[in-house]
Amino acid sequence: MDFLHKKRYYSHAKPILVAVDCIILGFNQSTLQLLLFKRKIAPFLGAWSVIGSFVQEQESTSDAATRVLQEHTGLENIFLDPLALYSDPERDPGARVISQAYFSLIHLEDEALNKVETHQARWFDLKDIPSLMLDHNIMVQDALDKLRTKARYSPIGFELLPEKFTIPQLQLLYEAIYQKELDRRNFRKKILSMGLLDKLDKKDKSGSRKGAFLYQFNTENYQKMVKEGVDFIL
């Protein structure tokens, strides 16, 4: 049964618009950044916004999120986690709009930086986020809260760090997620106790003459922890 044929059964109901919003966070080895663009339609024309638009008639919200992200940023093959449904009747003065939000944490490579710039999108450090339209600041905070919960119960870093990395580099990732400094000795003790890392014989001497030992994730243990979960309290 096509969409037009379906509509006649609910002609008494008032239409409600459905939108998707994508909260894309990028990690660049030391800081966490948020991807934004300027709204292209009224109301709030020109205001800073997370990446979003309306769902088309024949789309699921997940398909719409993938399309909208690609159209407005050039980013493709990004795994989007469902975040929450935002349905306050007064959230959008333009119309009755319900928004399904998604979020993702990606590694910021030159390709991701260049693509978004050609689409007039922009990366902002979390400490420098401008005022956002509608309830987008709430969405961003909800995404950060969910990311922090995920970081506590599931190992993070496999796709965000180089294949070989130091413990200080891993700590920078967690500090970026939690937006606070972590005790160096305590972090090192906890992360090593998890059996998640394999120590290598090589050192990274880019930061000092003494250098720091390089590690890599133990793939088997990493995938096991992703599946079973872990309580990593910082």
Q: Does pLDDT of 7 surpass 70?
A: no
Please tell me the predicted confidence (pLDDT) of residue 25.
95
CB 72 within 8 A of CB 51: yes
Strand partners, 21: 52, 101
CA distances (Å), origin 39, targets 43, 44, 67? 9, 7, 17
pLDDT above 70 (res 203): yes
Cβ pair 123, 24 in contact under 8 A: no
CA pair distance 49, 61, nearest whole angstrom: 18
- What confidence category does residue 34 fall into, taking pLDDT thresholds of 50, 70 and 90? very high
Classify residue 95 by its DSSP letter.
S
Q: Could you tell me the pLDDT band of residue 59, with boundaries at 50, 70 and 90? A: very high
Rounded Cα distance between 64 and 57, Å, is: 10
* Per-residue pLDDT at 100 exceeds 90: yes
Three-class DSSP category at 123: strand
The mean pLDDT value for 61-81 works out to: 95
pLDDT at 6: 61
DSSP state of 208: -
Sorted by where each starts, the structural domains of the chain and their CATH numbers stand as 3-151 (3.90.79.10), 154-228 (1.10.10.10)
Sign of the C-alpha dihedral, residues 130, 141, 108, 127? positive
Q: What is the pLDDT averaged over residues 201-205?
A: 82
Q: Decide if pLDDT at 194 tops 60.
A: yes
Q: Where are the alpha helices (DSSP H) in the chain?
A: 3-7, 61-73, 110-118, 136-153, 167-178, 184-193, 219-228
Confidence of residue 19 (pLDDT cuts 50, 70, 90): very high
Q: Is the pLDDT of residue 35 over 80?
A: yes
Find the mean pLDDT for residues 101-111: 87
